[in-house]
Amino acid sequence: MARLTQWAAWVAAAVLLTGCGGGPAGPSANDGKATPAPAPPAGSQSAPARLPSSLTSQRLDWGRCGATADSPAPGDEWRCATLKAPLDWSRPDGETIGLALIRAKATGDRTGSLLFNFGGPGGSGVAALPAYASQVTALRQRYDLVSWDPRGTGESSGVRCRSDRRIEAAEAIDVTPDTAAEERAYLQDAADFGQGCRKAAGKLLAHVSTTDTARDMDLIRHVLGDAGLHYFGMSYGTELGGVYAHLFPREVGRMVLDAVVDPTADSVGHARNQTRGFQRALDAYLKSTGQDPGHGSRKIADLLRRLDAKPLSTSSGRKLTQSLAVTGIALPLYSKRGWPALTSALAAAEQGDGSGLLSLADAYNDRDDSGHYGTTTHAQRAISCLDSKQRPTPEQARELLPEFERISPVFGAFMAWDTAGWCHDWPVPGQYDTPRVSAPGAAPILLIGNTGDPATPYEGARRMADELGKGVGVELTWKGEGHGAYGNGSDCVDSTVNAYLLYGTVPRDGKVCS
- What secondary structure, in 3-state letters, does 134-147 show? HHHHHHHCCEEEEE
Q: 450 forms bridges with which residues in the sheet? A: 478
Strands 143-148 and 229-234, by their bridges, are unpaired
What is the distance between the alpha carbons of residues 147 and 133, in angstroms, rounded to a whole number? 11
Q: How far is CA 500 from CA 464, 471, 505, 511, in A?
A: 19, 16, 4, 13
H runs (alpha helix) in 63-163: 125-132, 137-140
- What secondary structure, in 3-state letters, does 163-211 show? CHHHHHHHCCCCCCCCCHHHHHHHHHHHHHHHHHHHHHHHHHHHHCCHH
372 carries an active-site annotation: no
Catalytic residue among 157, 209, 235, 335: 235
Q: 255 forms bridges with which residues in the sheet? A: 231, 445
483 carries an active-site annotation: yes
Q: 231 forms bridges with which residues in the sheet? A: 115, 255
Catalytic residue among 483, 490, 494, 495: 483
What is the distance between the alpha carbons of residues 345 and 368, in angstroms, rounded to a whole number? 19
453 carries an active-site annotation: yes
63, 74, 114: which is closest to 224 by C-alpha? 114
Catalytic residue among 262, 453, 490, 495: 453
Cβ atoms of 129 and 70 closer than 8 Å: no
The set of residues, in sequence order, having a beta carbon less than 8 Å from that of 53 and lying 6+ positions away, is none
Packed helices 210-224 and 236-247: angle between N→C axes, nearest 10 degrees = 70
What is the distance between the alpha carbons of residues 209 and 384, in angstroms, rounded to a whole number? 7
Kindly report the number of other CB atoms within 10 A of residue 215's CB atom: 24
Residue 349: enclosing H or E segment and its boundaries?
A: helix 339-350
The sign of the dihedral angle between the CA atoms of 451, 452, 458, 461 is negative
What is the distance between the alpha carbons of residues 143 and 121, in angstroms, rounded to a whole number? 24
What is the distance between the alpha carbons of residues 65 and 434, in angstroms, rounded to a whole number? 37
Q: Phi and psi (nearest 5°) for 192?
A: -60, -40
Q: Which residues are designated catalytic?
A: 235, 453, 483
